[in-house]
Structure formats: structure tokens, C-alpha cells
Structure 1
Amino acid sequence: MAEINRAVTEVAAGILLDSQGRYLLGQRPVGKPYAGYWEVPGGKIEKGESVFAALKRELQEELGIDIESSEELLVLEYDYPHAYVRLHVSIIRSWTGNPRGCEGQELSWQRLADEKPSVEPLLPAAWPMLEKLRLLLA
């Protein structure tokens, strides 16, 4: 792994997977880096917070849902122009509430069986997450 000369931003990302084999993407709102790009929901892990606690908090804030459990999928790093991020990606199969864009963001359910999402552009770091998910569930 290359040496990092930038601060690492720890991020929890949650792939909501429903019983129909669909996953949820959200569109980044105006005012954020990469506004208009589609991503897996989640956000920064606060100091002293576990990945699960961050996921629970972020998905409540972003989507208005309460998650009950998660399973780790992978950890990956990505060097964006605005931040170097370490993404802790989890699969979430169980939640209460109906996901909605609480921050004004658009949401889109995507079929895992489809080769690529029907929405674009996708954040670059989202591609390896979806590839790993497809391999796991193939």
C-alpha cells in the first residue's frame, strides 16, 4: 500500500439490500464534493465511534431508517481530490422504516442482477463495492 501524506477520513458506507435483490443508491446533494454523483449511503465515522454506530447514525440522518444489524463486506481506500477516504463497507439486510432522502437527495433502488446501475455518474469508489457485492452474492 502506498504511503499516505494526507489525513485519512474514515467513512462508514452501508449497502441496503432488500429481499428482491436490489440495493439503494443516493445522489450527492448540491454543495457537497461530487454533487450529482450517485453513491452508497453513509458518512464520516466520528472519533470514538464504531463502524456500526456511525452507520446507524448516518442512515438515520440520511434515510430516516433504523438499522438492526450489518455485515462487513470490505474496507477500501480511495484518493479523491478533496479527501483521502478509507471506506468501511457493510451490507444491511434488515431495517425499520422506509428509506427517504432526508437531506433532499434523490434515491434509486438498483437491481443487483443488472451489470451497471441505471443512474449515473457513480462515485468512483462505489464501483469496487458493487463488484465485491456481486461476487459475494453470485
Structure 2
Amino acid sequence: MHVVVTGALVEDSAVLLVHRSPTRRAYPDLWDLPGGHVEAGESELQALAREMHEELGVHIVAESSSRLGDWHAGSGENAVHVAVWHIADWTGSPTNRAPDEHDDIAWVRINDLDGLPLVHGDLAALIGSLP
């Protein structure tokens, strides 16, 4: 099973999303939260911190992060477990440091998520549940 972590950076009632490149094998041309695979020997929070730095150039404050929910997709060797985290505090200004993976990043108002093509159908409701 593949374990993936994603992070919701929220600021001023908007969440930072990444647009997956149309050339990506998995979930092309859809909006998603930034993140990636947990590597051997990493905790989910270690992987989340690494991925946020690699993809966006930000340093998260791990203690400010809380789990929002989980998704499971596929089966057998293609099974994927996605852990979704809310990141309340970070340093740095997010920029697209992974243009081969994402062709755009954008701050999207939480109220506008329902109108976007999202990787996971429940993503809008999950982020909308944030206080």
C-alpha cells in the first residue's frame, strides 16, 4: 500500500491548491492539495514537512498540524492511503517548486471549492469543515 500525505495551508478563508499537470499519470488536470508519498522510515509529519518544502518552499510548524481525514483508493499493490492534514503555521511564501508535477498553484476561497475539478470529491467538504 502506498501512503500519501497532503497538506491544507489555509489563510484568509482560502486554501492553497496545486493543479496537477495534464501529463501526470495519476489524476491529471485536477486540483489537489500539495503533498506526496511517505518514504521508508519517515513519519507522516516528516513526509509532510519534506513535501511542503520540496513542492512549495515553505517550512511547516509540525506542532501546528492536525489530521483532517483519510481516503483510501484502489486495491492490492495499487492501494493508496491518503492522509489529509491542516497546517496552521508555516514560514515562507509558497511558490511552485515542482513545475514538472504541477502546472499552477493558487489560493482558492474555501467557498469556491465546489466549482473546481478536484482529485477527491470529498475534498471541498473536508476543507469546508475547518473552523
Counterpart CA distance in 1 for 2:117 and 2:111 is 19
Task: Tell me by how many angstroms 1:61 deviates.
Answer: 0.5
Q: Deviations over 1:11-52 (max 9, x none)?
A: 01101111x111011011354223321111000001121111
Task: Tell me the residue number matched to 2:46.
Answer: 53
Consecutive unaligned residues of structure 1, counting only runs of 5 or more, are: 1-7
Task: Tell me the residue number matched to 1:128.
Answer: 122
Change over 3 Å in CA distance of 1:74–1:101 after alignment to 2: same
* Percentage of matched positions with identical amino acids: 31
Counterpart CA distance in 2 for 1:25 and 1:115 is 10
In structure 1, give the amino acid aligned to 2:80.
Answer: V
| 2:55 partner SS | helix
Task: Tell me the residue number matched to 1:42.
Answer: 35
Task: Tell me the residue number matched to 1:5.
Answer: none
Consecutive unaligned residues of structure 2, counting only runs of 5 or more, are: none
Bigger helix share = 2
- For the aligned residues, what is the CA RMSD? 2.0
Bigger strand share = 2
| 2:52 partner SS | helix
Task: Tell me the residue number matched to 1:112.
Answer: 110
After the TM superposition, which segments of 4 or more aligned residues of structure 1 sit over 4 Å from their partners?
Answer: none
TM-score (norm 1): 0.80
